[in-house]
């Protein structure tokens, strides 16, 4: 029997589909000041109440003119000047020009701007060495955003450019979805926080700081419940509290089949498991389920397995709750420069570093090894070498599919 055929071991694409179907979008919304809206998810479309720019303006320092009046060898009286924020408020007279600066409103009666470098000053008059076609260097009202058009769509995570767009149409505040709250629970008697003394057999909790940073990239509120020792009653109390306070409970460790792995047992007691164990490597003992008020994401304890499964699956569940939906990583074909060991049966996400060369896109595995405890394989990587479930070992020179790292790493 192949590994992926064992009962309960689910292919990755099926797991993602089940996860997305199970998670509902956040219902709560709130209005926040634009300055506080970075990384929030917009809850409704925003439309432009006015065009941007709101008036015809100059793209250059130079002279605003009436193109029909222009001829080489003639000189023109400078009627006045127009500055950004200080418009020339008269009509342009025939055979005269207005000195104009970048961003200034085009005077009434003018239709063209001749660049300053093409001007020839002659006392109080000006002539031109080059003439500009009608409409040159004029930014038209609505060139960027037409009045009534959609500026930013609902269900968009607001980045710096979105904030600039919203500000450009005068938005002082926006309606966004409420922040998703995630409980972070580390499990295991062997775990110690950095700075504590280690007894023989102890390890430092490296998962929590990494997961905290990845969660911060998703714009969630994080409640860190610390390290929960391997005691069923402590697990039960932590889960019950987190279920009252959070939208998601995210654990690392305790979802395997060891005698002291209680996470799965308590989850089945308080809620239910949608699926557990996936046909992927690293990260087979990934679990997803629900408690009365929250969703549960159970990550393996090994650090590479924990971070990879959160990247591939956990982050997608949270994005679904944020109304962003599934956001796959970009993919790229590459030639591996080294042989890669793999057994058929699970989809394998080996960590790699890709680069372009004269021969095309090349990739090599990273780290001293690819074990689920080898964090250096992630530290030096910029992609996953995604090897298909039924594929075996790969020889140097074969083509492989890369999943390129996104903002999570």
Mean pLDDT of 86-90: 96
Q: What is the mean pLDDT of the chain?
A: 93
* Contact predicate 282/308, CB 8 Å: yes
CATH number reported for the structural domain that contains residue 20 in this entry: 3.40.980.10
Q: Kindly write down the DSSP assignment for every residue of 167-195, as one continuous string.
A: HHTT-SEEEEEPPPEEEEEEE-TTEE-TT
Residue 326 included in any domain: no
Between residues 231 and 182, the one the model is more confident about: 182
CATH number reported for the structural domain that contains residue 103 in this entry: 2.170.190.11
- Supply the range of the domain harboring residue 8: 3-28+178-321
192 shares its domain with 158: no
202 shares its domain with 317: yes
pLDDT confidence tier of residue 256, bands split at 50, 70 and 90: low
Rounded CA separation 65/109 (Å): 8
* Contact predicate 158/20, CB 8 Å: no
Q: Is the pLDDT of residue 4 over 60?
A: no
Residue 187 included in any domain: yes
Tokens coding 211: 């997961």
% the chain with pLDDT above 70: 96
Q: Is the pLDDT of residue 159 over 50?
A: yes
pTM equals 0.88
Rounded CA separation 317/23 (Å): 7
pLDDT confidence tier of residue 359, bands split at 50, 70 and 90: confident
Q: Element (H or E) spanning 48, and its range? A: none
Counted domains in the chain? 4
Q: Is the pLDDT of residue 160 over 90?
A: yes
Q: Is the pLDDT of residue 261 over 80?
A: no
For residue 401, what are the CA distances in angstroms to 337, 386, 391? Answer: 13, 6, 12
* Predicted pLDDT at 8: 56
* Predicted pLDDT at 265: 81
187 shares its domain with 163: no
* Predicted pLDDT at 49: 96
Residue 162 included in any domain: yes
* Predicted pLDDT at 276: 82
41 shares its domain with 151: yes
Quickly tell me which residue has 């009608």 as its tokens: 134
CATH number reported for the structural domain that contains residue 366 in this entry: 2.40.340.10
135 shares its domain with 154: no
Q: Is the pLDDT of residue 262 over 80?
A: no
Q: Is the pLDDT of residue 370 over 90?
A: no
Beta bridge partners of 182: 222, 248
Q: Element (H or E) spanning 105, and its range? A: none
184 shares its domain with 315: yes
Rounded CA separation 194/291 (Å): 31
22 shares its domain with 117: no
* Predicted pLDDT at 395: 97
Between residues 255 and 289, the one the model is more confident about: 289
Residue 213 included in any domain: yes
339 shares its domain with 389: yes
In this structure, what are the phi and psi dihedrals at residue 400, rounded to the nearest 5 degrees? -135, 160
* Contact predicate 2/345, CB 8 Å: yes
* Predicted pLDDT at 384: 98
State the DSSP code for 251.
E
Residues 6+ apart with CB under 8 A from 326: 16, 20, 316, 319, 320
Q: Is the pLDDT of residue 257 over 70?
A: no
% the chain with pLDDT above 90: 84
CATH number reported for the structural domain that contains residue 168 in this entry: 3.90.105.10
Q: Residue-wise over 294-323: b if at least 16 C-beta within 10 A, else e?
A: bbbbbbbbbbbbbbbbbbbbbbbbbbbbbb
Reading phi first (left if > 0) and then psi (alpha if -120 to 50, else beta), residue 133 is in: beta
168-223 pLDDT per residue, tens: 999 999 999 999 999 999 998 899 999 999 999 999 999 999 999 999 999 999 99
Q: Is 8 exposed, middle or buried (0-12, 13-18, 19+ CB in 10 A)?
A: exposed
Tokens coding 120: 């020839």
163 shares its domain with 151: yes
């Amino acid at each position: 029997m192949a590994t992926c055929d064992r009962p309960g071991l689910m292919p990755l694409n099926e797991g993602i589909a089940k996860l997305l179907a199970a998670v509902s979008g956040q219902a709560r919304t709130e209005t926040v000041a634009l300055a506080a809206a970075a990384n929030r998810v917009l809850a409704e479309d925003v439309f432009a109440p006015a065009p941007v720019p709101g008036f015809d303006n100059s793209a250059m320092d130079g002279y605003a003119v009436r193109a029909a009046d222009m001829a080489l060898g003639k000189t023109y009286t400078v009627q006045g000047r127009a500055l950004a924020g200080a418009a020339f408020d008269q009509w342009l007279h025939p055979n005269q020009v207005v000195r104009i600066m970048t961003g200034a409103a085009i005077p009434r009666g003018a239709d063209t701007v001749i660049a300053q470098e093409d001007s020839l000053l002659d006392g109080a008059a000006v002539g031109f060495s080059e003439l500009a076609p009608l409409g040159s260097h004029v930014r038209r009202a609505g060139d960027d955003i037409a009045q009534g058009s959609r500026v930013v769509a609902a269900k968009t995570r607001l980045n710096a450019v979105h904030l600039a767009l919203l500000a450009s149409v005068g938005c002082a505040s926006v309606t966004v979805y409420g922040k998703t709250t995630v409980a972070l629970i580390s499990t295991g008697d062997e775990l110690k926080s950095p700075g504590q003394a280690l007894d023989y057999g102890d390890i430092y909790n490296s998962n929590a700081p990494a997961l905290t940073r990845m969660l911060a990239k998703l714009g969630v509120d994080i409640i860190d419940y610390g390290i929960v020792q391997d005691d069923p009653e402590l697990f039960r109390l932590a889960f019950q509290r987190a279920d009252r306070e959070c939208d998601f409970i995210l654990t690392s460790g305790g979802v395997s089949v060891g005698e002291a792995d209680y996470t799965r047992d308590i989850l089945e007691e308080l809620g239910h498991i949608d699926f557990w164990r996936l046909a992927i490597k690293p990260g087979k003992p990934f679990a997803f389920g629900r408690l009365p008020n929250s969703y549960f994401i159970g990550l393996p304890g090994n650090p590479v397995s924990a971070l990879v499964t959160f990247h591939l699956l956990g982050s997608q569940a949270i994005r679904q709750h944020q109304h962003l939906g599934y956001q796959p990583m970009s993919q790229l074909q590459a030639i591996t420069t080294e042989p890669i060991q793999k057994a058929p049966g699970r989809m394998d996400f080996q960590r790699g570093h890709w680069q372009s060369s004269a021969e095309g896109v090349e990739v090599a595995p990273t780290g001293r090894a690819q074990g689920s405890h080898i964090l250096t394989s992630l530290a030096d990587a910029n992609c996953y070498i995604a090897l298909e479930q039924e594929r075996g070992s790969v020889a140097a020179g074969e083509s492989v599919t890369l999943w390129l790292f996104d903002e999570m790493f």
